[in-house]
Copies of this chain bind each other. A is one copy, B any other.
Amino acid sequence: MRNFADILMDAIDAKGSRLVVGLDPRIEYIPNDLREPSLKAAGHFCGAAAEMILNFNRIVIDIVSPYVPAVKVQVAFYEAFGSPGYRAYEDTCRYAAEKGLIVIGDVKRSDIGSTAHAYARAHLGVTELEDKVVHHGRAHAMTVTPYFGWEGIEPFLYTAVEFNKGLFVMVRSSNATAHEVQGTQDDPDPLFLRVARKVDEWGRDNIGDRGYSAVGAVVGATYPEDIPRLRELMPRALFLLPGYGAQGANPKDLAGAFDADGHGAVVAASRRIIQAHRTPDNQMWEHAIEQAVQEANADLKAHLPALKT
């Protein structure tokens, strides 16, 4: 069975890259040549913000799509502009998919039962009105948080399996106070290791042709010391590793997330790529972004286990 993990791994092979570009647009860093026309046409309203975000993302997607297998779209920065922003989120996901990119909706949703199922339909599945499909979730995978236990995962997984899509369950977040709730390896039975065991269990029935599950894990790249143990507990989970770049993680510390073929994980970077043009150097902003994605790819290639295809 060819599952979401196979689809993502095939895209990694095709592009020769394990970099995921985060589309977390800060409105203040949208280049002026996109900002001015939207403000002129729509004024200082949500619609103008949404339009400039979408126009920016389209160009970023055009630039990065030859170089990377996937994008991670952080919905919070779109929700901040209300329903026009939410529309820009959906349009961004659709555009990226049309350009051949795998789309990870970084939405960190969580709930139980029919509510969780509604979120799953929103992002991965379809919603019907009297037996007619009126909404298509545009992401290929979504991030979820694990606080509710199995009943908070099962509705997402059900929809992911039905539409051949994937989940990334938050296991170890990249922030400094993660341990307050998730614990540390020094604790007798830390939550993040318990969740890791659950992720392995939850994904067991959905292993693809290439040996990885449709249920992956978010593992902060800022905690490299936890990676070997997490890999041991979740041998079949693809890891989504945030924290590379702006949050300071070093790619050479991430080797333990990868298998002998150089597979098993993707590394996410957002600010490093989509804010590359903030460094003043007289470059066109499009060129700064293209150069940043090439440099990040080269940096990962130099420090991660080689990708064997």
A173 touches B112 (CB 8 A): yes
Q: Which residues of B contact A108 (CB under 8 A)?
A: 109-111
Q: Mark A2-17, 1 if CB is under 8 A from B, else 0.
A: 0000000000000000
B149 touches A181 (CB 8 A): yes
A273 to chain B, nearest CB (A): 16
Q: Which residues of B contact A86 (CB under 8 A)?
A: 82-83, 86-87
A265 contacts the other chain (Cβ, under 8 Å)? no
A249 contacts the other chain (Cβ, under 8 Å)? no
A 146-197 contacts with B by CB, 8 A: 146-152, 170, 173-182, 191, 194-195
Q: How many A residues touch B, CB cutoff 8 Å? A: 65
Q: Mark A48-60, 1 if CB is under 8 A from B, else 0.
A: 1100000000000
Interface-facing stretch out of A115-123, A208-216, A282-290, A298-306:
A115-123
Q: Which residues of B contact A1 (CB under 8 A)?
A: none
Chain B: CB-nearest residue to A149: B180
Question: Which of B44, B49, B77, B180 is A150 in contact with, Cβ under 8 Å?
Answer: B180
A81 touches B49 (CB 8 A): no
A292 contacts the other chain (Cβ, under 8 Å)? no
Q: Which residues of B contact A46 (CB under 8 A)?
A: 127, 129, 134-135
B181 touches A146 (CB 8 A): yes
A135 touches B175 (CB 8 A): no
A79 contacts the other chain (Cβ, under 8 Å)? yes
A198 contacts the other chain (Cβ, under 8 Å)? yes
Q: Which residues of B contact A40 (CB under 8 A)?
A: none
Question: Which of B79, B114, B149, B173 is A119 in contact with, Cβ under 8 Å?
Answer: B79
- A74-B115, A181-B191 known; 6 new pairs, CB 8 Å cut-off, are A44-B132, A46-B135, A79-B122, A80-B119, A81-B135, A113-B175
Q: Which 9 A-B pairs have the closest CB atoms?
A: A149-B180, A83-B87, A149-B177, A76-B118, A79-B122, A44-B132, A151-B175, A80-B118, A86-B86
**Could you write out 18 A-B pairs with CB less than 8 Å apart?**
A45-B129, A76-B119, A76-B122, A80-B121, A80-B135, A81-B135, A82-B127, A112-B173, A112-B174, A112-B175, A146-B181, A148-B175, A149-B177, A149-B179, A151-B178, A180-B198, A181-B198, A191-B191
